[in-house]
Amino acid sequence: MKFKFIGVPGERHEALNMFGVLFPMGEAVEIDGKGAEKLRGHPHFEQAEGNSEEIKPTIDQLRTKAESLGIKVDKRWAEDRLAEEISKKVG
């Protein structure tokens, strides 16, 4: 899987080293295994275009995203409901 480091709000970085891999700002970098799993839905990374597999965020990542948007999360909500609430909030 390829991911791009998109930055940290309020901070300036030319690159970031994570999981022993250097991610230059805005450049797609190949990473596999647990590193790829951890970057799914990470707020400072985005999946690069051209990846053959669709990556779905985990339920914990969806909950974190929803809460960061000010959504009051019900722990009983499944992934579909969380994604729906996030979509409503985002636009």
d(CA 49, CA 40): 14
- Looking at residue 55, its pLDDT comes to 59
Kindly state the tokens that stand for 47.
């999946």
| Secondary structure, 3-state, 15-79 | EEEECCEEEEECCEEECCHHHHHHHCCCCCEEECCCCCCCCCCCHHHHHHHHHHCCCCCCCCCCH
Q: Which two tokens stand for residue 62?
A: 């969806």
Q: How confident is the model at residue 88 (pLDDT cuts 50, 70, 90)?
A: very high
Q: In the prediction, which pLDDT does 54 show? A: 57
Architecture of domain 2-47: 3-Layer(aba) Sandwich (3.40)
Beta strands 45-47 and 2-5 are: antiparallel
pLDDT tens figures, 16-73 = 998 889 999 989 999 888 888 889 888 999 888 765 555 578 888 899 999 999 999 9
